[in-house]
A and B are shown apart, each in its own frame.
Chain A
Amino acid sequence: MLELIVMSTLNGVLYGMLLFLMASGLTVIFSMLGVLNFAHASFYMLGAFFGFQISRWFGFWPALLIAPLLAGALGAAVERFGLRRVHKNGHVAELLFTFGLAFAIEEVVQIIWGKSPVDFRVPSVLDFPAFTIFSTNYPAYKMFMLLVSIVIFAALLITLKKTRIGLIVQAALTHPHMVGHLGHNVGRIFMLVFGVGTALAAVAGVIAGPALVTQANMAGLLGPILFVVVVVGGLGSLPGAFAASLLIGLVQTFAVSMNGSLSGAFGPLSPDYAATWLADIWNVTIAQIAPIMPYLLLVLILIFRPMGLLGTRDT
């Protein structure tokens, strides 16, 4: 039992931090530009594929640096030459634009790298067990992922709270017009935020690529969870996104490792149920419903707390 708790907590925090790398960018972009970027997870995927390709040519470490820069530059260009023009036609046009972009990126990735998973491996320096707990080896690469996420989280926090540009970003979250009236170039800040946000998603892609599967559907698999995180945390709230990332990360990893079911808990009380048409529900395990849990949480949050855990706006 203790083993389960420790392992699930470790994995849950790791998954949560990875989600936060992406959700932080998504939520800041939403607050500032007022647009939910459907293509955000696509930049995570681009990060993974760029990382794969660059690590083939130059090795993993250059890839960890170059892939996010490339994806971030691409993100900034999307804001500057795409979204900014579309913006004049309102939010629906922006949504459709990012929606289309997500599909376009997926198709391009398929054309270049194919549909099947690519062979993106953990670098050999990090391919060893970091420590052994309860007779299970915990891979060093996972600790490395955790470390990278924490370093980036700290850097983001310091930049936002302590630097002038961070203050301008914070101010523009709530009052972009006023920031412009004070003489700050809001358009350039938007572009910067979009670039940094997509670069962060790409960092997540590079480090998650070798641990998970690098494949053309990875954006589609992750995108919905990302929206759950952002909505549960509260659209536009960074602390909320952080809390929700960890929450979803933990909920999911704990749920998959639990085998409890209604029949397990209450079976001895009324064994007859196992024979009725209710048997399917009766015997389903928590692990089996784990994939639905984030969406269930989303639905509950939208009904009972539409502004999210820590959100302030109810858009």
Chain B
Amino acid sequence: MPATDNSAGKMGAATEGTRASERLALLTADNASVPLPASVQAITAILLAALLIALPWLGLGYRFLSIAITTIYTAIGLYGLALQFGQAGIMSVGHAALMGIGAYTSAILSVQLGWGFWTTLPFAMAMSAIVGGVIGLPTLRVGGQHYIIITFCFCALFVIVLTNGGTFTGSATGLDVGSVTPLPGINFDKLSNNYYLVLAALFLALAATYLIGISRYGRTLRAIRENEQLARSVGINVDLHKLGVLMVSGLFAGLAGVLQLYYLRHISPTLFGAFPSLYLALMVMLGGARYLYGPLIGAIIVNFLPEVLNLDPVDSRIAYGVCLLLVILLLPGGVSAGIKNIYCAIAGGSEGQGGGSNGRA
């Protein structure tokens, strides 16, 4: 990964009007750690929030809104994955299983004890966080690639346990739940209200990701990502931070899982198996794990691509694969990196010394 100073230097060079090859290098540079000016950040956030809030009124239809809900709860799970991979550098290909832990905890509490959405939510999130931490224990001992295989094994194991769990987990057919317990005056059976519920959770996830990113905690995580031994030698408790970020990631996954459960009203083991997990990893890389809006962009691309291109499932999977290859080869930082670089190139070109180079906080 290019260091901060390196990419800032490239940006400065581009403002003086440079050759095409350097412009290409500019577009493919990974400059996640160079913040944009505060005004640009604020405007993006407000525009995005306004667009998302206005979405149900744009008259795009029932199907569009359903896909939007799917996209958003997926994105919430992705923010957890982006936190552990983008900030702390711990990749997992078993993340759907963590969402499944949350969803199944909530469903089992609801089936066995008759609890509603709001009561089960904290338990489900806590359960996902605890399991996330426990699966994370091997990261203290083994390297990244071993951990990836371990998470994949865990995911496969989870599906087997659910399938063999008898009536407690509903076996292969899964479990059903009722609708979200209505708040005074708000009935979540209405699709647009369900959308706002999921959207509120997304805003929470975004806010948490942003705050962690600018906090001392986030900086510590990035230090561990870049050089674990150096971080350890300056007195950072690496083990505690690694487990901590995996547990926070588990919280996001639990929230996403419960939202998924109450949107679908029915869950089965295959929703949380190896394929959904791989797709989560794919989405987070596609969008860009180190960018605030990266996971959301990744989820939007993967969920809406088949709709936009009007493809059948087989072709759309092939299209995902091709997109992924192109993104990794041309934009190793994800689509968000490309968008940010294009913005920097335009802003830098028109204002002389504007753009990303002066906004370093």
Are A and B a genuine interacting pair, yes or no?
no
